[in-house]
Chain A
Amino acid sequence: MSLRILVGVKRVIDYAVKIRVKPDKSGVITEGVKHSMNPFDEIAIEEAVRMKEKKIAKEIVAFSCGPAQCQETLRTALAMGADRGIHVEVAGPQYETLQPLHISKMLAKLAKDEQIDIIIVGKQAIDDDCNQTAQMTAALLDWPQATSASKIEAKDGSLQVVREIDGGLETIKVKLPTVVSADLRLNEPRYATLPNIMKAKKKPIKKLTPKDLGVDVSPRIQIVTVEEPPVRLAGAKVENVDMVVEKLKALGHA
């Protein structure tokens, strides 16, 4: 097979950074904060690269939407093995109300323009925790979807996909073209090596606007407030197991 794969990669605040809410409650502080590729999107890229290594795929296009710094996220994807990048620049207040629906419309348009066979994205981004993009892109294209994938096997113009569901696993078969979202156990993403990082600098990144893709990014939501979560008051530490048992008894649990 010689498939063309489109992978969505989102630039998010690094998972190890402690999130701080802006004093005016309009959002979280992003200035001067370390960002990296959404971890689930790293898994998505890795899966695409493995398909190329197995000669299932012939080309991988990485897509990212957001401010100028998304180019760094795309460079990471290129260093991991993507062939070229597409950056749709959206910044400022427009970016703050950008929703997975808008991204899905961009992915759907690009899938048609680039004659894509498989779109792979992470199952959710660790900033907005939406878990929507794959499902919506599939709907817009009228393609089947295989979300929360933990195993993918390509055969005869189809993918057999094992999905993570509540309490176990589900196996489905989807015909190409299709949209897949990557879950934690799908693979372990590689680290980009220095020679590959150098090579990635020469790979092309095309810059587009939402308008180029015919996508209206007007807000679908208004942010009312972004606040700190309620703080849970910790109780006291106890000295030994007997005291744990005693306290649990008092609560009716022992």
Chain B
Amino acid sequence: QSTLVLAEHNNGKLNPVTLSAITAAQKVGGTVSCLVAGTKCGSIVEQLSKATGITKILVAENANLHGLLPEPLAPLIVATQQQFGFTHILAGASAFGKTVLPRVAALLDVSPISDVTAITNSDTFVRTIYAGNAVLTLKSNDGVKVITIRPTSFPAAPMGDVIASSEASTQTVNSSPNSEFIGQELTKSDRPELSSAKVVVSGGRGLKSGENFELLYKLADKMGAAVGASRAAVDAGFVSNDLQVGQTGKILAPELYIAVGISGAIQHLAGMKDSKTIVAINKDPEAPIFQVADIGLVADLFAAVPELTEKIGKK
């Protein structure tokens, strides 16, 4: 077995999902190599080279990879697989991994496996279906396995002292005449990033308006937490979609998740039920969120949240 892990980065910073993918790759067995593709790879290779468990880093630095569009990137990955005969290709199940890897799989005529939560052996994988309401274990019949892994299901590979060797890719990268990268607009926030935050305060339809999310921002800032939201709150227009926690949004596993005014729809639970500790504040004692909460408080959030904000952190 030999696995190629596609590194995810923004030409400056390595995305930690890559380190989770390296851990997953080790469960496949065999050697693990990484592909760093982009327009500025130097610092990424430097960051990645200390990760334990990888034997080689392939570097494809090319102006045609501007914006890391899937059209030039997928053929590069396929050519790299064919050059070295990798049996597995892995990436994080992030927006980037989901964009690129299915395209790679189709070019290889294999059926990709999305959002894997556990690896049983080199051809048997576990993933959730129906928004986490059923768990599927499947065996792949394909020659090359193309897999995205759920980052919260695999810990990050630790950084060690051994420096993995890196070499320039010998593959050519063709420009993509039919697609063009125009730009990215990332939401700026002083709070921690939602996907990697240790504490998350999340609001639902019970907040009643976008303005009322201010209550949650105050609590979050006191706790150094990120702010999330249920799909119901996003659909109601209270907050933007990038805050959405759930099967169709972000899947989190923080140390502490505080759900405020969230009833606990199935698709929301799929995004947060792996949190270590769950606190729920909701005025409806029958809300399904209480079935997963470690600490449940039946109360009016408009009184309880300010009180919690005031009392937390006091000796």
Question: A interface vs B, CB < 8 Å?
Answer: 13, 15, 18-19, 21, 28, 99-101, 104, 124, 126-133, 135-140, 143-145, 147-148, 150, 160, 163-175, 178, 183-185, 219-229, 232, 234-238, 240-245, 247-248, 251, 253-254
Contacts between chains A and B (CB distance < 8 A), count: 236
Q: Is B223 at the interface (CB under 8 A from chain A)?
A: yes
Separation in Å of the A220 CB from the closest CB of chain B? 4
Besides the known contacts A167-B186, A223-B136, A241-B307, 7 further A-B residue pairs in the complex with CB atoms under 8 A apart: A131-B102, A135-B70, A167-B242, A173-B180, A174-B180, A221-B139, A229-B135
24 examples of A-B residue contacts, CB within 8 angstroms: A19-B133, A127-B129, A129-B128, A133-B102, A137-B106, A139-B106, A145-B71, A165-B184, A168-B242, A172-B69, A184-B234, A184-B235, A220-B140, A221-B111, A224-B137, A227-B134, A227-B137, A234-B293, A236-B296, A237-B297, A241-B308, A245-B314, A251-B277, A253-B223
B 235-253 contacts with A by CB, 8 A: 235, 241-242, 247-248, 250
> Contact: B241 with A184, CB < 8 Å?
yes
Q: Is B295 at the interface (CB under 8 A from chain A)?
A: yes
The 8 A CB mask of B142-181 against A (1 = contact, 0 = none) is: 1000000000000000000000000000000000111111
> Contact: B95 with A228, CB < 8 Å?
no
Given contact pairs A131-B114, A244-B279, A172 touches B179 in the complex (Cβ within 8 A): yes
Separation in Å of the A179 CB from the closest CB of chain B? 10
Alpha-carbon separation in the docked complex, A142 to B56 (Å): 31
Separation in Å of the A210 CB from the closest CB of chain B? 15
> Contact: B294 with A147, CB < 8 Å?
no
> Contact: B182 with A172, CB < 8 Å?
yes
> Contact: A242 with B311, CB < 8 Å?
yes
Enumerate chain B residues within 8 angstroms of A254, measured Cβ to Cβ.
Answer: 312-313
A interface majority secondary structure: mixed
In the complex formed, the residue of A with least CB distance to B295 is A247
Separation in Å of the A65 CB from the closest CB of chain B? 15
Alpha-carbon separation in the docked complex, A19 to B187 (Å): 35
Enumerate chain A residues within 8 angstroms of B134, measured Cβ to Cβ.
Answer: 19, 21, 28, 226-229
Given contact pairs A221-B141, A229-B132, A144 touches B312 in the complex (Cβ within 8 A): no
Alpha-carbon separation in the docked complex, A175 to B179 (Å): 6
In the complex formed, the residue of A with least CB distance to B141 is A220
Given contact pairs A136-B102, A225-B137, A245 touches B308 in the complex (Cβ within 8 A): yes
* Residue from B67, B103, B294, B311 within 8 A of A245 (CB atoms): B311
Question: B interface vs A, CB < 8 Å?
Answer: 67, 69-71, 74, 94-96, 98-107, 109-115, 124, 128-142, 176-187, 193-195, 199, 223, 231, 234-235, 241-242, 247-248, 250, 255-256, 266-267, 273, 277, 279, 281, 285, 290-299, 304, 307-308, 311-314
In the complex formed, the residue of A with least CB distance to B294 is A235
Given contact pairs A19-B134, A139-B106, A245-B311, A232 touches B187 in the complex (Cβ within 8 A): no
> Contact: B297 with A240, CB < 8 Å?
yes
> Contact: B256 with A126, CB < 8 Å?
no
Alpha-carbon separation in the docked complex, A124 to B129 (Å): 11
Separation in Å of the B90 CB from the closest CB of chain A? 15
Enumerate chain A residues within 8 angstroms of B112, measured Cβ to Cβ.
Answer: 100-101, 130, 132, 136
Alpha-carbon separation in the docked complex, A99 to B98 (Å): 16
Enumerate chain A residues within 8 angstroms of B129, measured Cβ to Cβ.
Answer: 28, 127-129, 226
> Contact: A19 with B103, CB < 8 Å?
no
> Contact: A164 with B106, CB < 8 Å?
no
* Residue from B99, B111, B184, B235 within 8 A of A220 (CB atoms): B111
In the complex formed, the residue of B with least CB distance to A247 is B295
> Contact: B106 with A101, CB < 8 Å?
yes
Enumerate chain A residues within 8 angstroms of B185, measured Cβ to Cβ.
Answer: 168-171
Alpha-carbon separation in the docked complex, A132 to B148 (Å): 11
> Contact: B296 with A160, CB < 8 Å?
no
Given contact pairs A127-B130, A140-B106, A224-B124, A171 touches B139 in the complex (Cβ within 8 A): no
> Contact: A99 with B94, CB < 8 Å?
no
Alpha-carbon separation in the docked complex, A28 to B134 (Å): 8
Alpha-carbon separation in the docked complex, A143 to B179 (Å): 9
> Contact: B111 with A175, CB < 8 Å?
no
Alpha-carbon separation in the docked complex, A251 to B278 (Å): 12
Separation in Å of the A21 CB from the closest CB of chain B? 5
Alpha-carbon separation in the docked complex, A178 to B273 (Å): 37
Enumerate chain B residues within 8 angstroms of A139, measured Cβ to Cβ.
Answer: 74, 102-104, 106-107
In the complex formed, the residue of B with least CB distance to A28 is B134
Given contact pairs A126-B130, A129-B130, A229-B133, A221 touches B140 in the complex (Cβ within 8 A): yes
Separation in Å of the B206 CB from the closest CB of chain A? 16
Enumerate chain B residues within 8 angstroms of A13, measured Cβ to Cβ.
Answer: 130
Separation in Å of the B141 CB from the closest CB of chain A? 5
> Contact: B102 with A132, CB < 8 Å?
yes
> Contact: A241 with B186, CB < 8 Å?
no
> Contact: A222 with B138, CB < 8 Å?
yes
Given contact pairs A28-B134, A101-B110, A129 touches B178 in the complex (Cβ within 8 A): no
> Contact: A229 with B128, CB < 8 Å?
yes
Alpha-carbon separation in the docked complex, A251 to B32 (Å): 37
Alpha-carbon separation in the docked complex, A11 to B273 (Å): 28
